[in-house]
Structure formats: structure tokens, C-alpha cells
Amino acid sequence: MKRAVGNPLALAVLAALLLRPMHPYEMARQFVEYGKDRDIKFTRSSLYMVVGQLAKAGFVTEQETLRDTARPERTVYSITSTGRAELNDWMREIVAEPAVEYPQFGVALSLLTVLPPDEVRELLATRLATLDATIAEIDSTVAGARAGGLDWWHLVEEEYRIARTRAERDYVAQLSTALAGDDYRQAWQETFGGQQ
């Protein structure tokens, strides 16, 4: 379904405003504090742009403008009933329906044969080390959050992230082993060896 504002950042803004009215700077601070910036890429200007688009679509509205001498003027936004309906509909769609995504690594895998087998194995070893470090970082984050008493449902995106990272790590390890085989090396040499 085509959304009036289809940027995933818009979904995060609507969800943030569901909790309470706030200004974009506070939303940005909250996204970073709760680790949402790992899943949703944004800059301050993109956040303000999305909030403007949501206001134009009638999903959020200006609630008040805060003025004090120490800070610049800040507009506080709240979610509208239309915005709440959009948030719920969009979330239902995303949770229920797998979407076709085009990750860069998938593109690289589809074109893998342009690189020599030994170089690919070296690059995959680098990727494996990065994935292992990422898994350790996520494990540490989740363990710290649990030790601090954070409920499991606040960690579902981290659990998903670690499951996805572990699956990729396992796949990359298997691929690296397969690429070491003489059959692949010989086929690559016959097809591409003379072009390097």
C-alpha cells in the first residue's frame, strides 16, 4: 500500500508521539537514547522534513510553541486521530506482510564472480570478524539491559537484530568454505581467469 508519508522515520515519529507530545529535537534524543537510530537512519534535517510531511498529511499537529531565552523556539507536535489510525494500519501491514528488500550484500552476492576466489574469501573473513564483533556488542547490550531490569518486549528489535546477524554469519562461514573448493576455483578460472 502506498503511504502518504512512506519513510520509516515517519513511523517512528508517529510511535513517539503516541506516548506524548514532543518537539523534534526531543524525538531525536529519544531515538538515540533507546537505540532506534540503529534501525532508522535520520539526521536532524530529515527528521524536521518528515515531521513537516506528517503535519501536511494531517497525521500530526502543532500543539504549542515553546519560547525561552536560553533556547531557540521549539514547536511541540501531537499525533492526530488520523495519525493514530495510520500508525496502527502501517504497523499491522509491516508485521503481517514480509516485504521484498534489496540489501547491498545480496547485490554483491549476485555479482560475486567478478572477484577472484581467494580475494572473496579474504573479504568474507573480514566480514565474519565484523559480524562476530556485532554479535558480541548486541549480546552485551541485551545482557546489560536485562540486568538493569528492562522487560523483554523492549528488546525485541535487538533480539531480531542478533538473530539476523547470526544467520548471516553462519551463511557467510558456509559460503567461504564452499568457495575454497576446487570446483568453484576451477570454474572461476575457466570463465574469468584470463580477464584479470
User: Is 65 a member of any domain?
Assistant: yes
DSSP H helix total and E strand total for the chain: 8, 2
Domain limits for position 112: 104-195
Q: Are residues 88 and 122 in the same domain?
A: no
Domain assignment present for 2: no
Q: Rounded to the nearest 5 degrees, what angle is found at the Cα of 99, between the Cα atoms of 98 and 104?
A: 125
Q: What is the pLDDT of residues 147-159, one digit of tens each?
A: 999 888 888 989 9
Q: By the 8 A CB rule, do 142 and 159 touch?
A: yes
Residue 1: inside a domain, yes or no? no
Looking at the structure, tell me whether residues 111 and 92 fall in a common domain: no
Rounded CA-CA distance 101/113 in Å is 22
Do residues 51 and 28 lie in contact, with contact meaning Cβ atoms separated by under 8 Å?
A: no
Q: Are 127 and 172 in contact (CB under 8 A)?
A: yes
- Can you list the residues of the chain whose pLDDT is less than 50? none
Reported as a single tens digit per residue, the pLDDT across 136-145 is 999 998 999 8
Pair 12, 74 in one domain:
yes
- Asked whether the whole model's pTM tops 0.85, one would answer no
The reply to whether 25 and 49 lie within a common domain is yes
